[in-house]
Structure 1
Amino acid sequence: MLRAQGFSARCVSRQNRQLVTQAVASKGFGTKPKVAPKPKKDQPAPEPCPCDSGKAYKNCCETVHRGEAVAYTPEATLRARFSAYVKGDADYLVSTTHPDYHMNHYQVPNPGGAPERLREDVAGACNKFAFTGLRIVGTEQGVNDFEGYVSFEYLSRKRSAPGAPVTEEEVRDMAAWSRTAERCRFLRTTNGVWQFVDYQTATFDSSKLGGQEQQ
């Protein structure tokens, strides 16, 4: 993850995202909504991070997007990429996509040989889909310290029109939201940056879904 398909460029509003999380939780999807830090008196509540860490966006993935912090693990990179799709941060998504993805996905002869097509796919997916409800199912080390896997699930739905915000009515229309489960592979570069290489759709044991914590 994140692949260049199925993610939203704009953040579903805080109220909408909370409504979605609460609605799906009532149907057995995910854990109880995490609560963002409480604001100081007479100050608006900080925007929760789209990665559902429970932190404010400004203190979480935004610092990674701005280059003020580094995602030092595959999971942290996955979370930051998820938030980047929500925020429409194509630069971060392109920079954290491994050059080999270009060859595997676009069948080009050279690593990193299709940056324009990658950026175009990201923008198209962001405009077409709304996305929320990230849940990390598990992480695994690969064959060495430079490879790692993240298994996760999320909710998505098609927008009523390209780039259109999700309305409260659409948030409550649970039949329109689809759950997708994936397992993504990451490789670490020599400068310590983790990059998304490829993915596969996944089927997880039911004990790891629906609010059940992984043992």
Structure 2
Amino acid sequence: MDCYCGSSKQYSDCCEKVHKNIAEAKTAEQLMRSRYSAFVLANGDYLMKSHHSTTRPVKEKKAIVKWAKSVEWIKLEVLETTRGTLHDTEGTVTFKAYFYEKGKVDVIHEKSKFVKENNCWTYLGLSQ
């Protein structure tokens, strides 16, 4: 099965590896793609684990999972990546995530900030 993140790899060779072991995300973009796939799969545990400890929305986990299940995910477009390589400690990824909600197409257009925590990439939040 093709990976949800649009990488043209199989899910088992792409985001599933990161879902099973977050250290498999070698770049900020890989982590961002794995988070998109986790939204498609409504994998709340992974969404919390991949979120930086200082900004992790633990109290919102159930609502996030409920929303992720309520929409139909269409595709992910990665527009730009700044730093976020194997040797960096921070980076940004700008993306568009398309989905159907209540009969119409909507899009999340975000520039996300990623930082390493315990030597693993994590999502910090929106980049300023």
What TM-score results when the alignment is normalised by the length of structure 1?
A: 0.53
1:184 aligns with 2:126: no
Residue 188 and residue 69 in structure 1: after superposition, are their counterparts in 2 closer, same or farther (change >3 A)? closer
In the superposition, relative to structure 1, how do residues 69 and 63 fare at CA in structure 2: closer, same or farther (>3 Å)?
farther
Residue identity (%): 27
Bigger Rg, which one: 1
Deviations along 1:167-214, one digit per CA (max 9) or x if unpaired, are xxx7xxxxx212331100011013x2111111169xxxxxxxxxxxxx
**d(CA) in 2 for partners of 1:151 and 1:69?**
22
Render the CA deviation track for 1:86-111: whole Å, top value 9, x for unaligned. 11211111101112214xxxxxxxxx
Q: Which amino acid aligns with 2:121?
A: W
* Partner amino acid, structure 1, of 2:83: Q
Counterpart position of 1:132: 74
Residues 65 and 189 of structure 1, relative CA distance in 2, 3 Å threshold: same
Distance 1:146 1:81 in 2: 18
Match status 1:148 vs 2:91: yes
Deviations 1:102-134 (A, max 9, x none): 4xxxxxxxxxxx52x131232122122222210
Q: Which runs of 5+ in 2 are unaligned?
A: none
Q: Displaced runs of 4+ in structure 1, greater than 4 A?
A: none
Deviation of 1:70 after TM superposition, in Å, equals: 0.9
Cα 1:68–1:146 change in 2 (3 A) is: closer
- Relative to structure 1, the CA distance from residue 72 to residue 198 in structure 2 (aligned partners, 3 Å threshold; closer, same or farther) is same
Contact 1:61–1:80 under 8 Å retained in 2 = yes
1:199 maps to amino acid: L
Q: In 2, Cα distance between the equivalents of 1:180 and 1:66?
A: 26
Q: Residue 63 of structure 1 contacts residue 69 of structure 1 at CA under 8 Å; is this kept in 2?
A: no
Do residues 63 (structure 1) and 34 (structure 2) align?
Answer: no
What count of residue pairs does the alignment treat as equivalent? 126
SS in 2 for 1:178: strand
Higher strand share: 2
TM (normalized to structure 2)?
Answer: 0.86
Q: Which residue in 1 is equivalent to 2:121?
A: 194
Equivalent residue for 1:75, pick from 6, 12, 29: 29
**What CA distance in whole angstroms lies between the structure 1 residues aligned with 2:101 and 2:5?**
20
2:60 to 108, 118, 130: 118
RMSD, matched Cα: 2.3
Tell me which of the two structures has the higher relative contact order, counting C-alpha pairs closer than 8 angstroms and 6 or more residues apart. Answer: 1
Q: Deviations over 1:28-68 (max 9, x none)?
A: xxxxxxxxxxxxxxxxxxx1100000011111111111228
